[in-house]
Amino acid sequence: MHLIITDAWLAKSRAIYLSGTKLLVAVLALSFTLMLVAAGLYHWVFLKGAREGWPVVGTLVRLVIKDEFAQRDRFMRENLDVMAKRLGEMQAKMMQLESLGERVSGLAGINPNDIKIKPGQGGALVSGRPLTMEELNATLADLDRLTDQRSDLMAVMESRLFEQKVRTMMVPTQQPVVGNLGSSFGWRIDPFTGRSALHTGLDFQANTGTPILAAAGGVVVTQEFHPEYGNMIEVDHGKDLMTRYAHTSRAYVKKGDLIKRGQRIADVGNTGRSTGPHLHFEVLVRGVPQDPQKFLTAGRNLPVQQVAMAPAGVAAGAGAAAQPAAVTPTPAPAQQPVARPAPAPVAAAPVAPAPQPAAVQR
């Protein structure tokens, strides 16, 4: 491309030759310069018009700003909707976790109001930068994951504590009748034969008709008349643990009934091989009589966790006495019929506590 530039005053001319490459570079440079000038003018005019309120420019600026604000509001509403949904889910999980905490604290014997007390917090304020949307979403995600983990943990704890409570309620630790303790567990002078014999339970002195309560929950496996025990009730508590209530005058349950701790199952009587109205109460582990007093004492003094383990400890501690206890009760009916003797032999019963400790340690 040939360009000829002439100067009318100096009467000179100058020829410029532009090749294709130079022409392209020149066009691009000119276009870029025009764009910069147009952008500067546009920016200057719109800023000046917006500040001074020019009619046309002000209207255009308001339209542009209104569209930008509308897009920003729409974006914020979408984010707020998502955040509100996440917040609702977190609130539901927190309510579920609070309900689980109340149930678990109740099973553990803790007052739920003590857990709800807000812990004290404080300290000097060290300001930081505001959280971004990404950081807030990450924090909510971590809190959501932690809440799920805590909910699963609380559910497992509730299951274990409930199972432990059920086992505790199935251990005979409640006194079955309100009355004075007569003959204890162990060797004593038999009131019918006057000879040394093993007493396989506890005798509670009470008037006829006094309510007999279940020492623990379980299933009634026997409700019948026995030649020695009279009207007898046997309750199976599971784990090879069973209780026996003898000499009752009236039974309120039958075989197969499911009973709970403290339920009235019979009344005190004087049936069977008995010298007067009382309750004969036995605890058997795998069919071997144990000392019921150990269970009753455990229910009054030991924590719940130790009460649940009482049968194993009692069974181990009474292992030496298992052999004589399983054999000696049977010869009694062959010795004497059911005829009631005079009150004199009963006076020998208080002698029983003296030989008892040596017999139990066998």
Domain at 223, CATH number: 2.70.70.10
Q: How many domains does the chain have?
A: 2
Task: Please report the pLDDT score of residue 242 as a whole number.
Answer: 94
Instruction: Say if 291 falls within a structural domain.
Output: yes
Q: Which domain does 318 fall in, by range?
A: 180-337+344-360
Task: Please report the pLDDT score of residue 19 as a whole number.
Answer: 72
Last residue of a domain, one of 52, 69, 84: 52
Instruction: Say if 316 falls within a structural domain.
Output: yes
Helix, strand or coil, per DSSP, at residue 212? strand
Task: Please report the pLDDT score of residue 159 as a whole number.
Answer: 74
Task: Please report the pLDDT score of residue 140 as a whole number.
Answer: 80
- In 3-state terms the chain splits into helix, strand, coil percentages (rounded to 5) of 50, 20, 30
Instruction: Say if 193 falls within a structural domain.
Output: yes
Q: Model pTM?
A: 0.47
Last residue of a domain, one of 36, 52, 68: 52
Distance CA 339, CA 126 (A): 92
- 190 and 46 housed in the same domain: no
Helix, strand or coil, per DSSP, at residue 113? helix
Instruction: Say if 43 falls within a structural domain.
Output: yes
Instruction: Say if 236 falls within a structural domain.
Output: yes
Task: Please report the pLDDT score of residue 285 as a whole number.
Answer: 92
Burial status of residue 276 (CB atoms within 10 A of its CB: 0-12, 13-18, 19 or more):
middle
The vertex-103 CA angle with 98 and 105, nearest 5°, equals 90
| The residue to which tokens 């025990």 are assigned | 229
- 186 and 40 housed in the same domain: no
- 332 and 185 housed in the same domain: yes
Instruction: Say if 248 falls within a structural domain.
Output: yes
Instruction: Say if 172 falls within a structural domain.
Output: no
Report which of 330, 211, 220, 234 is spatially closest to residue 273, judged by C-alpha positions: 330
Distance CA 249, CA 339 (A): 18
pLDDT < 70 positions in the chain: 1-18, 46-64, 107-119, 162-163, 165-169, 301-362
Task: Please report the pLDDT score of residue 77 as a whole number.
Answer: 79
